[in-house]
Copies of this chain bind each other. A is one copy, B any other.
Amino acid sequence: MSPSALAAHVPSTDVGASMYELMADLFPLCRSITGAGLRDTLDRIGTIVPLELTEVPTGTPAFDWTVPKEWNVRDAWVANDRGEKVIDFRTSNLRVVNYSSPVRRRLSLDELRPHLHTLPDHPTWVPYRTSYYAETWGFCLSQHELDRLPDGEYEVVIDATLEAGSLTYGECVLPGSSAEEILVSSHVCHPSLANDNLSGVVVAAHLAGVLAETERRYTYRFLFAPGTIGAIVWLSRNEHLLDRVRAGLVLACVGDAGPVVYKRSRRGDTEVDRAAAHVLRGRGLGDEIVDFSPYGNDERQFCSPGFDLPVGAITRSGHDRSERHHTSADDLASIDPAALADTLGVCLDVLAVLEDNATLVSRNPKGEPQLGRHGLYRSFGGRADQERLESALLWVMNLADGEHTTLDVAEQADLPFPIVAEAAAALERADLVRAEARSGSTRGDGR
């Protein structure tokens, strides 16, 4: 077994720039959990990687939920008595409360006020609001804008439809030599918000692009679906697949310059949890590893107790991000293309561990082998990592008892996984070790 090419794949700054461009393309679309903006976004992603779309009709039950009506909005505004639009959907799709029911009325400012949403603590920002499951309507504006609205009568128009239709999600499946699957999921329902979550969407799309070009042990499934309801609908239609899910990553809020944060799966010690922890610790960059909690993104659904899938989540998002969350301040200017590339690199490194991790079985378990006889004595001479590779040879031989994996060796020897994988491959070529693909189980521990 030769080490996967994934580990050697280091995303360039060009890749960061091209992910940023895709974000800029997608930014203006008015996405929601259903509707045309969502479909347009999936179509655009489909130009990067092959995407199969699924439409699930309004009213379809999914566990405790039901697919809602489809929402589409053509235009929306609030105009003053001089016909001037004081709040205009065309300036930003955050202006209208997502899933607002259609309305066309004249109201006094006092009547209008309960429908207007601001952020008094950030008086120049516009909030992002939704009302998926309670029919209402509303507009969002900055506190400064609200303060400047004079009394008087206003024309309110939301030219939207909320009707039977369907919810759309997209999947890109890249078959590997095993039917076991690695799931990568990114919610795609937010309108003009950048980090949350066009960043996750574009990293997932580019990750799919790299994997499509690489020999794969596992089958990869990329899911682009609206948050919560989309994941729940997908789960309800794919329960038969779940036993194949060996690992997964939810990607969201990965475009800022903060440290990478890996959130463990609910089980906490699955293979992807250990792989991500190994990769992040090895970077030595102050990345964080946190326990599962039932907050966050679609890991909440994948890790609900009835599924308990081995799915972790990658975010970045330093502390200053949380207040920008779900506001107009989560804009393209707050995105760092280098962070997008760095996140992509972390994902590739984690997947490289999963691809190459194997149970190691020595063919020479009694005493050390005489490395010289096998052409392995000082066989890495001249390489900068010679010493670590020689150390890895000894560690692999010592731990190759059929109960340790490549990752176990890397952790116990405190060596980078790719070094250990290379040493194991050299020993396998010398017929001193056998690397056994590990039978997958979504219920297995991380070893």
Contact = CB atoms under 8 A, between A and B. Distances in A.
A429 to B, nearest CB: 16
Interface string A293-321: 11100001101111110000000000000
Contacts of A394: 294-295, 300
Nearest to A306: B365
Copy count, this protein chain:
3
A235 interface: yes
A175 to B, nearest CB: 27
A294 B367 contact: no
Nearest to A291: B412
A398 interface: yes
B395 A306 contact: no
Interface stretch (A107-115, A140-148, A369-377): A369-377
A134 interface: yes
A163 B261 CA distance: 64
A231 interface: yes
A390 B73 CA distance: 32
Interface string A374-413: 0000000000000000010011011111000000000001
Nearest to A64: B369
A62 B367 CA distance: 9
Interface string A215-233: 0000000000000100110
A398 B63 contact: no
A89 to B, nearest CB: 26
A366 interface: yes
A304 B370 contact: no
Nearest to A374: B64
A305 B409 CA distance: 13
Contacts of A58: none
Contacts of A305: 362, 365, 397-401
A368 interface: yes
Of the candidates A64, A231, A235, A399, the one having the most CB atoms from chain B within 10 angstroms of its own CB is A64
A397 B294 contact: yes
A308 B365 CA distance: 10
Nearest to A398: B294
Residue in A305, A308, A365, A372 whose Cβ sees the most chain B Cβ within 10 Å = A305
B306 A362 contact: yes
Interface string A118-141: 000000000000000110000000
Interface string A337-373: 0000000000000000000000000101111111011
B399 A368 contact: no
A309 to B, nearest CB: 11
Nearest to A377: B133
Contacts of A264: none
A362 B266 CA distance: 16
Contacts of A295: 391, 394
Pick the most buried of A306, A398, A399: most chain B CB atoms within 10 A of its CB: A398
Interface in A423-445: none
Interface in A63-90: 63-65
A393 B394 CA distance: 47
Nearest to A362: B305
Given A133-B372, A306-B365, A395 B294 contact: yes
A84 B301 CA distance: 86
A236 B395 CA distance: 22
B304 A367 contact: yes
A46 B133 CA distance: 61
14 contacts: A65-B370, A231-B367, A236-B367, A293-B413, A294-B394, A294-B395, A300-B394, A300-B398, A304-B365, A304-B398, A305-B362, A305-B397, A306-B366, A307-B366
